[in-house]
Structure 1
Amino acid sequence: MLTKIFCEIDDFMQEFEDEYKKRLIAEKSSKTKYNSRLTLSEVMSILVYYHNYGNRTFKDFYLKTICKNFKSYF
Structure 2
Amino acid sequence: MRERAEVLQDEPFCRHCAARSLAVRAVVVDHIKPLSEGGSDDRGNKQSLCKPCHDAKSKAERAAAARRRAGR
> Same fold by TM-score, threshold 0.5 exceeded?
no
- Looking at secondary structure, tell me which structure has more strand per residue: 2
Normalized per residue, which structure has more helix? 1
TM-score (norm 1): 0.27
Output the TM-score relative to the length of structure 2. 0.27
Bigger RCO (CA 8 Å, 6+ sep): 1
- Between structure 1 and structure 2, the one with the greater Rg is 1
